[in-house]
Structure 1
Amino acid sequence: MPKSQTIMGVLPFGVMLVVAVIDVLAGPSLGFLPLLTLGPTFGATVGTVRRTALTGLVALAICVPLAAYNDLLFTRQNNLTIATIAGVSGASMLVSRLRINRERELANVRLVAEVAQRVLLRPVPRRAGDLRIALSYTSAAAEAQIGGDLYEVVTTPHGVRVLIGDVQGKGLESVETAAWVLGAFREAAYEEDDLTRLCERVEASLARHLNGESFVTAIMVEAHDGEVSVLNCGHPPPLIIRSDGRSETVEPPEDCLPLGLGDLGLPGPKALRVPFCDGDLMLLYTDGVIEARDRDGVFFPLGDKLGLLRRDDPQLALDDLRSELLAHVGGPLPDDAAMLLVRR
Structure 2
Amino acid sequence: MRAPSAGRTTVRRWCLRHLQLLPVLLLVGGALLDYHTSPHFSGEAFYTAAPMTAAALLSLRATVLAGIGACAADVALLTHFGFIGNSGGRSELAAVATVSAFAIVVNRLMYYSNVRLQSARKVALAVQRAVLPQLPASIGPLRIAVRYQAAVKDAQIGGDLYSAQDTPYGVRCLVGDVRGKGMEAVKAVDVAMGVFREAAEEEPTLIGIAARLERALLRESERRAGVERHEGFVTGILVEIPHYGDELRLVNRGHPAPLMLHAGQVHSAEPSEPALPLGLAELGADQDRTDTVPFPPGATLLLYTDGLTEARNRAGDFYDPGSGLTGRDFPGPDALLDTLLTEVSHHAGGRITDDMALLAVTRGSG
| TM-score after normalising by structure 1 | 0.94
- 1:221 corresponds in structure 2 to 239
| Structure 2, unaligned runs of 5 or more | 1-12, 222-228
Structure 1 runs (4+) greater than 4 angstroms displaced: 2-5
Matched, 1:79 2:98: no
- 1:115 corresponds in structure 2 to 126
- Supply the AA of the counterpart residue of 1:213: E
| Residue number among 27, 40, 52 corresponding to 2:38 in the alignment | 27
1:308 CA drift (Å) = 7.2
| Structure 1, unaligned runs of 5 or more | none
The 8 Å contact of residues 156 and 190 in structure 1, kept in 2 or not, is answered as: yes
Please give the secondary structure, in 1, of the residue aligned with 2:231: coil
Rounded to whole Å, the distance in 2 between the matches of 1:291 and 1:265 is 27
- Supply the AA of the counterpart residue of 2:36: L
Rounded to whole Å, the distance in 1 between the matches of 2:66 and 2:232 is 53
- 1:44 corresponds in structure 2 to 55
Please give the secondary structure, in 1, of the residue aligned with 2:323: helix
1:10 CA drift (Å) = 2.9
1:57 CA drift (Å) = 1.6
Rounded to whole Å, the distance in 2 between the matches of 1:100 and 1:170 is 29
1:161 CA drift (Å) = 0.3
After superposition, the Cα gap between the structure-2 partners of 1:50 and 1:241, relative to the gap in structure 1 and judged at 3 Å, is closer
The 8 Å contact of residues 141 and 332 in structure 1, kept in 2 or not, is answered as: no
Count of residues paired in the alignment: 342
The 8 Å contact of residues 49 and 94 in structure 1, kept in 2 or not, is answered as: no
| TM-score after normalising by structure 2 | 0.89
The 8 Å contact of residues 203 and 259 in structure 1, kept in 2 or not, is answered as: yes
- Supply the AA of the counterpart residue of 2:40: S
1:63 CA drift (Å) = 0.7
User: Deviations along 1:144-203, whole A, 9 cap, x unmatched?
Assistant: 122111100010011110100111111222111111111100011000001101110111
| Residue number among 313, 321, 332 corresponding to 2:340 in the alignment | 321
| Residue number among 335, 341, 344 corresponding to 2:360 in the alignment | 341
Rounded to whole Å, the distance in 1 between the matches of 2:152 and 2:49 is 33
1:309 CA drift (Å) = 5.7
Matched, 1:232 2:252: yes
| Residue number among 50, 54, 59 corresponding to 2:70 in the alignment | 59
Matched, 1:282 2:301: yes
Matched, 1:205 2:216: yes
1:4 CA drift (Å) = 4.3
Matched, 1:312 2:331: yes
Rounded to whole Å, the distance in 2 between the matches of 1:247 and 1:42 is 53
1:219 CA drift (Å) = 0.2
1:242 CA drift (Å) = 3.0
Rounded to whole Å, the distance in 2 between the matches of 1:34 and 1:320 is 49
Let me know the Cα RMSD of the aligned residues.
1.7
Within a 5 Å distance, the mapping from 1:257-276 to structure 2 comes to 257-276=276-295
The 8 Å contact of residues 188 and 198 in structure 1, kept in 2 or not, is answered as: yes
User: Deviations along 1:260-288, whole A, 9 cap, x unmatched?
Assistant: 11232432321111121112221111100
Identity across matched positions, percent: 38
The 8 Å contact of residues 266 and 326 in structure 2, kept in 1 or not, is answered as: no
- Supply the AA of the counterpart residue of 1:71: G
Rounded to whole Å, the distance in 2 between the matches of 1:258 and 1:309 is 32
